[in-house]
Amino acid sequence: MAPSPVPATQGAAAPPGAAAWPDVRAVGGLEDWTRRRLTGPAVASRIGRLARAANDAVGWRGLWLLVTGIFLMLAGVALRQTTSAFFTGQAQPVVSSFRTAVVNLQAQGVQLSISSLVPGAVTATSGSLLNDGDVPVNLFLAILADVSSNLDADPVGGLRIAGFRCRNAASPPLPVSCLQASSLVPVVALVTGATPVVPTNAGGGAGLPVGVAVSGAALQFPVTGGGAAIEVTGVPVLTANNVATGCAPASETASCYLGSFGGSPVVTPGTAVPWGSRLLAIPEVASANATAIPGNLEYVVLYVYLPGSAPSTMQGQSTTLSFVFAAIQPPGGIDEVR
């Protein structure tokens, strides 16, 4: 049985749950439906006129096909505008790691035990200082009194000390064991007055000088082949005020600058370094007085002597000294050894 034709005044049946299709065959049907779904009278009027024109041209079924096609076309344009293909690539990640520097000073030797000390007596002790860390450091020496007496308090007749770096015959000279040294370079902070380099007179041209003697408050170093001895004056050991030994700042824990490990000197501000119950007073090292020590190993020799003019008040005196070497890496990493 053939279906009944749709009455001219009724709209097409709407899908279940949807609003009724508008009667576009009746003039104004699509226009009224459009007005209810779009805001603004101007927009609704224009769409309505377009709908009536399309209805007159293609009929209501053709109109819906046209509208559906327009929506599909617009959806395709939107799809093309929002989807794209890109070439991609990856780079290996850059791994960043951080590790703090190490300051590790190792000292060997540099020990003195003197008994029956008399005016004009001299003794020497040599040793090595190893910078076993991984950064350049400055070296300092503090002379501290564990047991004090006139020996470390009298600036005229008390103990004196002269310090030297041991060097070989290379050009420029490099650090070498003092038992193989070709020359001794005075440590500026541990001598006074002129600071000449002392060539060794030991047999074979290597080793600590022999025949060193005390003359007044100075040391006399004989030279090979005769001639005038080289004179070097040490500094008094004044543990209550070490500034008199060429160290600064003035205090009982003042330290003497020995040099800087590395290819170029290290410049540091003055600071205080804890050592046991004391604070070592470390002087500022400026570029003007900085001394470079090639490599990471230094060899030093310390001469300790009693001046020939020591007064009788020095009899029966006893003192115990600690030689404390400190290494400082700017801006303040520290290590010290006794």
Most confident of 53-62, 63-72, 328-337: 328-337
Contact (Cβ atoms closer than 8 angstroms) between residue 277 and residue 297 = no
Residue 319 is predicted with a pLDDT of: 86
Q: Which pLDDT band holds residue 8 (cuts at 50, 70, 90)?
A: very low
Q: Letter for the amino acid at 100?
A: T
Q: According to the model, what pLDDT value does residue 298 have?
A: 92
> What separation in angstroms does the CA of 44 have from each of 31, 34, 39, 50, 242?
7, 6, 7, 10, 101
Provide the pLDDT confidence category of residue 27 given band limits of 50, 70 and 90: very low
Q: Enter the pTM of the model.
A: 0.68
- Contacts of residues 209-215 at CB distance under 8 Å and 24 or more positions apart, as own/partner, are 209/184, 212/122, 212/124, 212/303, 213/120, 213/122, 214/119, 214/120, 214/121, 214/122, 214/305, 214/306, 214/307, 214/308, 215/308
Highest mean pLDDT among 109-123, 194-208, 256-270: 194-208
Q: Are 237 and 151 in contact (CB under 8 A)?
A: yes
- Residue 71 φ then ψ, to 5°: -60, -40
Strands 255-261 and 292-293: parallel
Model confidence at 194: pLDDT above 80? no
> Residue 176 above 90 pLDDT?
yes
Which tokens sit at 105? 């000073």
Q: How far is CA 118 from CA 78, 148, 153, in A?
A: 106, 18, 17
User: Residue 198: what pLDDT?
Assistant: 95
- Higher pLDDT: 194 or 325? It is 325
Which tops the pLDDT comparison, 278 or 303?
303
Domain ranges within the chain, ordered by starting residue = 29-80, 105-337
Q: What is the CA radius of gyration of the chain?
A: 48
Confidence check: pLDDT of 213 > 70: yes
CB-CB contact of 9 with 26 (8 Å): yes
pLDDT confidence of 100, banded at 50, 70, 90? low
- Mean of per-residue pLDDT scores for the chain: 76
pLDDT band at 174 (very low <50, low <70, confident <90, very high): very high
* Alpha carbon distance 60, 56 (integer Å): 8
Is pLDDT of 266 > 70?
yes
pLDDT attached to residue 61: 56
CB 22 within 8 A of CB 52: no
The two tokens of residue 261 are 């490990």
Specify the pLDDT at position 272.
Answer: 85
Share above pLDDT 70 across residues of the chain, in percent, rounded to a whole number: 63
The pLDDT of residue 245 is above 90: no
Q: Is 276 left (phi over 0), alpha (psi -120 to 50) or beta?
A: left
| Strand bridging mode 230-236 / 191-192 | antiparallel
Q: Tokens for 151, please give them.
A: 């020996």
DSSP helix/strand/coil, 251 = coil
Report residue 72's pLDDT band, with 50, 70 and 90 as the boundaries: low
64's CB contacts (< 8 A; 6+ apart) are 24
Task: Say whether pLDDT at 52 is over 60.
Answer: yes
pLDDT score of 60: 53
Q: How many CB atoms sit inside 10 A of residue 167's CB?
A: 20
Nearest one of 101, 107, 105, 98 to 135, comparing CA atoms: 101
Please report the pLDDT score of residue 301 as a whole number. Answer: 93
| Predicted local distance difference test score (pLDDT) of residue 177 | 94
pLDDT given for residue 264 in this prediction: 75
pLDDT category at 92 given cuts 50, 70, 90 is: low
Whether the per-residue pLDDT at 217 is higher than 60: the answer is: yes
pLDDT at 104 over 90: no
Q: Is 188 helix (H, G, I), strand (E, B) or coil?
A: helix
Q: How far apart are the first and last CA of the chain?
A: 120
Q: Which residue has the higher pLDDT, 99 or 169?
A: 169
Both structure tokens of 163: 């310090």
- Mention every residue, 6+ apart, whose C-beta is less than 8 A from residue 179: 126, 206, 207, 208
Q: What is the pLDDT of residue 175?
A: 94
Give me the residue label for tokens 């020799």: 301
d(CA 314, CA 150): 7
Cis amide linkage into residue 249, ω under 30° from 0: yes
Q: Distances in Å between the alpha carbon of 297 and those of 95, 130, 186, 311?
A: 34, 5, 17, 40
> What is the DSSP annotation of 210-228?
SS-EEETTEEEE--TTSSP
pLDDT at 6 over 50: no
